[in-house]
Structure 1
Amino acid sequence: MTVSQVTTHILDTGAGRPAAGVAVGLYARDGGGWNLVASGTTDGDGRAKDLGPELLPAGTYRLNFATGAYYEGLGTATFFPEVDLVFSVSDAGEHYHVPLLLSPFAYSTYRGS
């Protein structure tokens, strides 16, 4: 399996485990709107490794996580029905790992490796 230039993983910090089965979309900013580049679902380890091509042009991108559906499946209320993380790709040869730390009422992120 080829790993895409942008990858992510989700840790459900409230439950203390990876968030499996979360739908994730990768979008590229094009003028004033967003175009879907790729979509996937996190695996049993909470990872999505196949979000788009091996190389993306420099630009602004967004990861959209369907967190509401994930928590609905667990029977847990959440404040965030979805999470959008917007970031810049500046080096077409570099790998971008964008993790999400998630709980029903908070989230955080960082630039991973």
Structure 2
Amino acid sequence: MASPITCHVLNTLSGTPANNLKATLTLLPTDPALGKSGESFAATTNEDGRVKEWEASSGNTLLEVMEQFAAGERIPWSIKFAIGPWYEERGVESFWPEIEVKFYVKKGERHYHVPVLVGPWTYTTYRGS
């Protein structure tokens, strides 16, 4: 089954995909008493600047983590992109050491796609399809 959360990063400086960019997806606190926060997943964008699957830092997959929530529940997530080191590897100084996009996912809805347009001095994002 496909990941319920994917992303796509484009480098606006060159107009090309941001390939080989490290990203971390983290479950943010919902109800601390339930202990559901803190799960994280890692990925590196592919040659097209996309993350289609996430590697779990613990034993739980992203789908298993999502199963802990009730249908329709709003689940807060964060994706951090290591944009500073990525630009430095390309000889470009970036204003951003990292960028973070926080968003909600409702369990049971279609998958969520998070596109990001990034440059050394700016970034923007929106809910994709």
- On whether the aligned pair clears a TM of 0.5, the verdict is yes
Match of 1:65 in 2: 81
Match of 1:6 in 2: 5
Q: Which has the higher strand share?
A: 1
- Is 1:109 paired with 2:125? yes
- Is 1:87 paired with 2:103? yes
Match of 1:18 in 2: 17
> Is the 2:26–2:77 contact (alpha carbons within 8 Å) kept by the matching residues of 1?
yes
How large is the RMSD of aligned CA atoms in angstroms? 2.0
Residues 5-64 of structure 1: CA distance to partner in whole angstroms, max 9, x if unpaired? 000010001111000010000000123xx5142110000000000025247244100000
Point out where structure 2 has 5 or more consecutive residues left out of the alignment: 55-60
Between 34-43 and 2-11, the greater mean CA deviation after superposition:
34-43
Q: In 1, distance between residues paired with 2:90 and 2:110?
A: 36
Q: In 2, distance between residues paired with 1:36 and 1:106?
A: 28
Match of 2:94 in 1: 78
Residue of 35, 49, 53 corresponding to 2:62: 53
Number of residue pairs aligned between Structure 1 and Structure 2 = 112
TM-score by length of 2: 0.79
Q: In 1, distance between residues paired with 2:104 and 2:63?
A: 16
Query: CA offset at residue 92 of structure 1?
Result: 2.8
The 1:60/1:10 distance shift into structure 2, 3 A limit, reads same
Point out where structure 1 has 5 or more consecutive residues left out of the alignment: none
